[in-house]
Structure 1
Amino acid sequence: MIARVWRGWTARDDADRYERLLRTEILPDIAAQSGEGFRGAAVYRRPDGDDVAFMTVLRFASMDAVRHFVGTDPQKAHVPPAARALLRRFEDEAVHYDVVVDNREQ
C-alpha cells in the first residue's frame, strides 16, 4: 500500500470551510476518480501560527493506482480550484511512502 502525503494551510477563518469542502466534495471526488485502487484517506488539522495546517494522507493500493488518479507525474499536487480559493499556501508536490505498518481500528 502507498500513502500519499500532502499539506496545505488556510487562514484561521477559512479552516472550517476548508475542512467541510474536504469532507463533502474533495475526498468524495478523489474516491470517485481513483477507482478501486483508492484505499481511503485521513486528514489531520492543527493550528500553525496565524494559519491552520492540514495534512492529507491518501492511501492507494499501488503507485499505478496513484498514477491512475493524478496522471504520469505522481508527485504533482492535486489541488482543485475550490481548495485553492481557501488555501493561503500549499505544497506543490505530494510525497509517497510505502505503508509498512497499518494497525488502524476497523
Structure 2
Amino acid sequence: MIERIWHGWTTPEAADEYERLLHDEIFPSFADEGIEGYRGFRVLRRANRNDEEVEFVTVMRFDSLDAVKEFAGEDHEQAHVPPEAESVLSRYDDRARHYEVRVRGEK
C-alpha cells in the first residue's frame, strides 16, 4: 500500500468551500477515472495558530506505485491540482510525497 501525501493552504474564508470541493467533486472525479489500485482518500484540516490560514493534508491510498503513476503520470510526484481547487487555495506544495505503508493499527 502506498499513501500519497500533499499539503495545501486556504484562507479561513475559503476553507469550507475547499473542503466541499474535495469531498463532493474532486475526489469523486478521481474515483470515476477508474484507476486500478486507487483505494480512497482522507482529508486532514487544521487552522494555524494565528487563524490566518487553514492547512489541508490530503492522503490518497493506492495499491502500488504503478497505480500512483496511472493516476498522476510518469512524473508521479508532480502535484495534481484541478483548476477549481487552485481558485480557492492560497498556496500549495508543487510535489506530493509517497510512502509505503509498513504497519497499520486500525481496529
TM bucket, shorter chain: over 0.9
Paired residue total: 105
**TM-score scaled to structure 2, two decimals?**
0.93
User: Which residue number corresponds to residue 92 of structure 1?
Assistant: 94
Task: Give a deviation string over 1:33-84, Cα, whole Å, max 9, x none.
Answer: 2523101111000002300000000000000000000111010000000000
Query: Which amino acid counterpart does residue 36 of structure 1 have in structure 2?
Result: E
- 1:34–1:69 CA contact under 8 A, matched in 2: no
* Structure 2 gap segments, 5+ residues each: none
Q: Given the superposition, is the C-alpha separation of residues 104 and 27 from structure 1 closer, same or farther in structure 2, using an over 3 Å criterion?
A: farther
Runs (4+) off by over 4 Å: none
Matches within 5 A, 1:47-86: 47-48=47-48, 49=50, 50-86=52-88
Q: Given the superposition, is the C-alpha separation of residues 104 and 34 from structure 1 closer, same or farther in structure 2, using an over 3 Å criterion?
A: farther
Share of identical aligned residues, percent? 50
1:103 Cα offset (Å): 2.8
- 1:45–1:53 CA contact under 8 A, matched in 2: yes
The structure with the largest strand share of the pair is 1
User: Which residue number corresponds to residue 29 of structure 1?
Assistant: 29
CA RMSD of aligned residues (A): 1.0
The structure with the largest helix share of the pair is 1
Query: Which amino acid counterpart does residue 82 of structure 1 have in structure 2?
Result: E
1:7 Cα offset (Å): 0.3
Task: Give a deviation string over 1:13-46, Cα, whole Å, max 9, x none.
Answer: 0000000000000111111225231011110000
